[in-house]
Structure 1
Amino acid sequence: MKSYPSVLAVLGGLLLLAAAPALAQDAATVKVAESAEHGKYLADADGRSLYLFESDTRAEGDAKAQISCKDKCLERWPPFYSEGEPQAGDMADAAKLGTVEHDGKMMVTYNGWPLYYFVDDKAPGDTKGHDIEEFGAEWYLVTPEGEKAEG
């Protein structure tokens, strides 16, 4: 009987890739995506939607962003981390990009808002987290201007 440890290793690697959005990315890229329902909104380099949490405090002037999403909240809304300076991709405004320290990592901000993924978004272009109230406040896609999307 043959054993197949390499198949198990490959499957384990695929599982790690599936969890990749919650992991820090070298020089994370923010770009603009578009849907008929929501118009233009921010996404990562792979097209995965990015969200703001209205309970967070937006960075303004010398004041840093304050992250209010904790524990179970972070399980449903994984932070968008970067290991390098975030980069502006297609139609994103580089001047609006920044970072804030969160749990020893650098979380990407846009127009002062910390950015998150939503665990129920399974593929690029999914926007299931838009206009949801969870953990005490609303979650929204982010426009290229850095405000909450309306659609």
Structure 2
Amino acid sequence: MAATRLTATVAGCAAAAAALAALTACAPPGANVDNTVDAAQAQAQVPALNDVAGESAVPVVAPVGSQTTALKAASIPKMGKVVTDQDGFVLYRFDKDTAKPPKSNCVDKCAQVWPPAITDGNPDLSGVDPSVVGTVTRADGARQITLAGWPVYRYIGDPKPGAWKGQNVGGVWFVVAPDGKKNLTCLPTPAPTAVEPPAASAAPTGDGGTGGY
């Protein structure tokens, strides 16, 4: 009598991706005033497969932020002294954060509109005093750059390097100066409203506790 042997092999793989615009009254000459964001900061969710037999795969969410390898002091028309990243995008600080101790309170939808300036190590510095540069560990484990203790961010509403449409957004976001202080040279009034997160965003409902980010 012949016996029938059935061998079943089932393999599964799941992947999810989430793709990550505020007019200012003091826009620099020639600045693009179109708030449409062509490319959003991406937040990827990938499966991490465990080597232990019989153990379920555990999804790992990549930290949200803008990889920042350099901090550069620059001078922008109408605004004056600012700090940019390696691509020339202006960096900002958030009044609802704290500097002593350093802490970021921009999470969820807020962090999609204001990607944290994250680093894998020491960024290259140009015109920025090393003594004011530090990092703070975010809830997702990413290391965010700080200036004088203040976490710094990019703004997805800035259409190009050198733009500073994030100035005074919500009355709580400001261009950061090389010493970590707020650059208040030009304050658009009334305070602009932040752009919305990308439509395809999978962020939780709400603004991450920022009160309008």
Deviation per CA, 1:49-73: give whole Å up to 9, x if none: 10000000013xxx3x111112111
CA contact (8 A) 2:133 2:145 kept: yes
Deviation per CA, 1:90-126: give whole Å up to 9, x if none: x111111110001111100011100001011121101
The answer on 1:98 being equivalent to 2:134 is yes
Q: Distance in 2 between matches of 1:122 and 1:147?
A: 24
Q: Distance in 2 between matches of 1:138 and 1:31?
A: 23
SS at match of 2:73: strand
Q: How many residues align?
A: 125
* Consecutive aligned runs of 4 or more in structure 1 exceeding 3 Å deviation: 17-23
Q: Which structure: larger Rg?
A: 2
Q: Distance in 2 between matches of 1:23 and 1:144?
A: 19
Matched residue type, 2:163: D
Task: Give matches, 1:1-150, under 5 Å.
Answer: 19=41, 22-25=65-68, 28-59=69-100, 63=101, 65-89=102-126, 91-102=127-138, 103-133=140-170, 138-150=172-184
Q: CA RMSD in A?
A: 2.0
Matched residue type, 1:37: K
Q: Which residue matches 1:9?
A: none
For residues 48 and 115 of structure 1, do their structure 2 counterparts lie closer, same or farther at Cα, with a shift above 3 Å needed? same
Give me the identity figure in percent: 35
Any unmatched runs of 5+ in structure 2?
1-38, 43-63, 186-213
CA contact (8 A) 2:41 2:115 kept: no
Structure 1 residue 19: Cα displacement: 3.9
Matched residue type, 1:140: F
Q: Distance in 1 between matches of 2:116 and 2:169?
A: 17
